[in-house]
Amino acid sequence: MPIDRSPLVVALLYDGLCTFEFGIVAEVFGLDRPEMGPDWYRFASAAIEPGPLRAHGGFTIQPGGGLELLDMADMVVVPGWKGRDAPVPDALIARLRAVHERGGRLASICSGAFVLAATGLLDGKRVTTHWHHAEALRARYPAVIVDEASLYHGDDRIFTSAGSAAGIDLMIELVRRDYGPDAANSVARRIVMPAHRSGGQAQFLVRPVQAEPESAIAPMLGEVRRSLAEPWSIARMALAAKMSRRTFERRFLEATGQAPGDWLVAERVEAAKAALTRGNRPMEEVAAAVGFGSAHALRHHFRARVRLTPSEFRREFAGA
């Protein structure tokens, strides 16, 4: 979105604060970044209860502001939460709903999704959280569509992210939405993160599921990865694995959680990502090198999985 003023990002503080999750928000939005110009984010921390507050790591925090800061916030980030069963105060729910109603954004990291779910604003939306919390979130809030396979999701100015490190991916993605890919790449470099993991809304996990090392099909997977440009059919993969096609397809699904064709497309898309961020090869060459055969096929599969065209991906993330 275009920036016409310096947006205020407010991170919540609470007793039992998840220190790492809070640190992510402070690192991305709270540091001085003179290279970004005068319109960069403003940052504040808002305590939801009186201090001093305990934080993970054995130290305490004396907050400088409370829930009143949410009334001025352009975005509020919930950096984790006290626990799955910890109640969310009514005053906090009301403040968060008010932020959203006046056009502000809400975001959560890891278990912070429980706080946003308590507002009712996630009902009917696809969200994510740490895989360890997914079933509990699904059970407590059945109207929420929980997708634990994603790094992050965003819908209607509400964003959720998976386990702690995925919060970095989401925060960088929000920078990209506000200030563009150059700013997002700059922040990512400063914190030594791969900016392409934000994916310009390519929020699904960037690596296909790997077969267990002891799996009988693991050697075949390695062979395919080393020769993606070759015309791998399911029949050929089954032959390489020394199995009948029927047995191969069953064993493949058990080992990877994917059908062979879906796995192969995912591997080729990942190889295409790497090729697109290195150099400026023509699309036909990239397509041939990863086994798609044509630029048309590359564009079709790439956009379906990454939500960007290959050209858009290269433009945003080459050299990042």
Q: What is the pLDDT of residues 52-81, one digit of tens each?
A: 999 999 999 998 899 999 999 999 999 999
Nearest residue to 109 via CA among 176, 54, 170, 63: 170
Cite the residue boundaries of each domain of the chain with CATH code 3.40.50.880.
Answer: 8-198
Phi-psi region of 138 (alpha: psi -120 to 50; beta: other; left: phi over 0): alpha
Residue numbers of the chain with a pLDDT score lower than 50: 1-3, 196-213, 320
Question: Which pLDDT value is given to residue 199?
Answer: 37
User: Cα–Cα distance between 261 and 280 in angstroms, integer?
Assistant: 28
| pLDDT at site 109 | 96
- Classify domain 8-198 by CATH number: 3.40.50.880
One CATH from 3.90.1200.10, 1.10.10.60, 1.20.120.50, 1.20.120.80 for 218-317:
1.10.10.60
What pLDDT score was predicted for residue 317? 67
Return residue ranges of the chain for CATH 1.10.10.60: 218-317
The Cα 79–Cα 112 span in angstroms is 6
pLDDT at 258: 83
CA dist 161 to 28, 84, 127, 165, 209, Å? 15, 16, 8, 9, 19
Cα–Cα distance, 85 to 58 (Å, whole number) = 22
Specify the pLDDT at position 30.
Answer: 93
pLDDT score for 193: 65
**Residue 255's pLDDT is what?**
81
Six-digit token pair at 245? 């096609």
pLDDT at 306: 82
How high is the pLDDT of residue 195? 52
